[in-house]
Amino acid sequence: MEQVAVKTTSSSYNVYIGPVSLGAVKECAENPKKILLISDKTVYSLYGEQVKTLLGEIAPVECLVVESGEEAKSFEEYYRILTFALEKELDRSSMIAALGGGVVGDLAGFAAATFMRGIPFIQIPTTLLAHDSAVGGKTGINHPLGKNMIGAFHQPAGVFYDPQYLQTLSGGEIRSGMAEVIKHAMIADPLFLEWLQSDSKAVMAPDGQQLAYMIKKGIEIKAQIVSQDEKEKGIRAYLNFGHTLGHAIEAYMGYGRITHGDAVASGMLFAAWLSEKVLGADLNYTRLKEWFHSCSFPQPLVPEMKTEEFLPFMLKDKKAGAGKIIMVLLERIGAPVLYSFSREELQALLDRYRKEELN
């Protein structure tokens, strides 16, 4: 079994890549007296009973199933989890297990972070995207005015990632996760990006071996950054490459109307274009855009949207402040920097981008 260690200021844990091992769960979970298994409808119907039986060997398991998709990262589902946990008499000796993609992980993790001021939780990721979301301890829910606006840093006690689960994912969900794989490569590893670009089949329809390689690479890059900056005081913000626009697109279009990865892909293209315009970077935007297109990502979405309607969402980004919008740009592949724009500057650049893309 492959293993990646995450060592943050608040805690250390392992990401296990391979079949879920009961021994490893037991070890990290410190003998919980009760387990609340949280999953979504789709994932529970595929893997819920199997995981419930497995965890049942550690402690009695209660199950709560939420709706599938981004809409579940809501106050309503969060409240439902807390009510359920209270009704089932969970206490500080209990543990939450999140079985699903980034939505279940973020939601269940936030419930774990806040229930009785914090109880342990483990992540059992089932999407490719969750190689990112299950690691690093960002948990939370959405607000209509902004993505992930309510949340907490709460590290999992362990992450148990069985790539076998990914076999039932749709092509669109593989692509969404691939956007975060590409993000990790773009901010930290030029050779990894070259490898991805050299084989479009590996990106469009990866085989098991290719998936396992990408997952491990992505997790290692993320673990490296999070281990140095758990609470995003500095370099962790690089993991937000493509997200200032990406999150604005998700909130503007309505949560669940576009996958997180497709929105981030559009955000990464805009950030790459900006990097060329304001930093003079040589990222070959046109080639990058063609590659994204060949991988079936949507064409840049900005030209289709009303700047005045989605710019306010960019201004509310968690990295923004004092009227400035901070974006992650690239001096070159593997060399991210933070760059600050005024609203007016960004508006002008968005208009220019739109014009260039429409031509």
Ligand X SMILES: O=C(O)C(=O)C[C@@H](O)[C@H](O)[C@H](O)COP(=O)(O)O
Residues that bind ligand X (CB under 6 A): 132, 136, 138, 147-148, 180, 232, 236, 239-240, 243, 318
Which residue, 162 or 232, has its beta carbon nearer to ligand X?
Answer: 232
Closest CA to 263 of 277, 281, 249, 276: 249
Least distance from ligand X to the Cβ atom of residue 52, Å: 27
Question: Facing residues of 339 across strands?
Answer: 327
Residue 318 binding partner per list ligand X, ligand NAD, none, with a CB distance cut-off of 5 to 8 Å that depends on partner kind: ligand X
| Pairing relationship of beta strands 146-153 and 94-100 according to DSSP bridges | unpaired
For residue 69, report the phi and psi dihedrals to the nearest 5 degrees: 105, 170
Cβ 9 to ligand NAD shortest distance, Å: 17
Task: Please report, for residues 85, 151, 259, the alpha-carbon distance to residue 108 in angstroms, rounded to integers and kept in the order given.
Answer: 11, 11, 19
Site for ligand NAD in 136-195 (CB under 6 A): 136, 138, 148, 165-166, 168-169, 173, 176, 180
Question: CA 41, 240, 145 angle in degrees (round to 5)?
Answer: 65
In the annotated binding site for Zn(2+), the residues are 180, 243, 260
* Number of neighbouring beta carbons within 10 Å of residue 358: 9
Least Å from the CB of residue 243 to ligand X:
5
* Chain position whose Cβ is nearest to ligand NAD: 102
Residue 1 CB partners (closer than 8 Å, separation 6+):
16, 17, 18, 19, 21
Residue 109 CB, nearest distance to ligand NAD (Å)?
A: 7
> What's the first-to-final CA gap in the chain, in angstroms?
51
Per CB under 6 A, which region of 27-35, 65-73, 87-95, 330-338 contacts ligand NAD?
A: 65-73
Verify binding: residue 70, ligand NAD, rule CB under 6 A: yes
Can you tell me the distance from the alpha carbon of 327 to that of 243, in angstroms, rounded to the nearest whole number?
8
Residue 103 partner contact from ligand X, ligand NAD, none using kind-dependent CB cut-offs of 5 to 8 Å: ligand NAD
46 binds ligand NAD (CB under 6 A): yes
Phi, psi (degrees; rounded to nearest 5) at 90: -70, 150
Beta strands in 78-220 (DSSP E): 94-100, 121-125, 138-143, 146-153, 158-161
Show binding-site residues: 68-73, 102-106, 126-127, 138, 147, 180, 243, 260
Q: Is position 103 an interface residue for ligand NAD (rule: CB under 6 A)?
A: yes
Identify whether the C-beta of residue 66 lies closer than 8 Å to the C-beta of residue 104: yes
Judged by CB under 6 A, does residue 59 bind ligand NAD? no
Longest dimension (CA), the chain: 62
Instruction: Give the binding range for ligand NAD (CB under 6 A) out of 17-25, 95-103, 115-123, 227-235.
Output: 95-103
Is residue 266 at the binding interface for ligand NAD, with CB under 6 A as the rule? no
Residues lying near ligand NAD in the complex (CB under 6 A) are found at: 40, 42-43, 46, 68-70, 73, 100-104, 106, 126-127, 129-130, 132-133, 136, 138, 148, 165-166, 168-169, 173, 176, 180, 260
